[in-house]
Amino acid sequence: DSGVTQTPKHLITATGQRVTLRCSPRSGDLSVYWYQQSLDQGLQFLIQYYNGEERAKGNILERFSAQQFPDLHSELNLSSLELGDSALYFCASSGGPGLMNTQYFGPGTRLTVL
């Protein structure tokens, strides 16, 4: 158990809908990262927050957004969902903002868009 929690574990929804994925980092970690894992793209970095501020951005679609709250939990919002958004979404956390802080991953949320 990495100490990172994610809810829900599974999510099934329809195209055009909006969903929110939630992540609680390990106790004491200030950085939260979101990744998408799909069969054709592998594990792709989406976005990083550090202590409530956006720190780095990957190939995150404009339909996707995230935030980190004062209690350090984070939410990833996916809107106008398309079939291709079906994937595993992982959250990771680390103690610091920088390059060499080990990222520990949560169990993921499996999103299925029908």
Listed ranges 13-21, 27-35, 70-78, 79-87: which one lies at the site for another protein (CB under 8 A): 27-35
Greatest C-alpha distance within the chain: 39
Per residue in 61-85, is it b (16+ CB within 10 Å) or e — as a string? Answer: eeebebebeeebebbbebeebeeeb
Cis peptide before 25 (omega within 30 of 0): no
Q: Which stretch binds another protein (CB under 8 A): 13-21, 48-56, 60-68, 69-77?
A: 48-56
Instruction: Note whether 42 binds another protein by CB under 8 A.
Output: yes
Interface residues toward another protein, by CB under 8 A: 2, 4, 31, 33, 35, 42-45, 48, 50, 55-56, 58, 90, 92, 94, 97-108
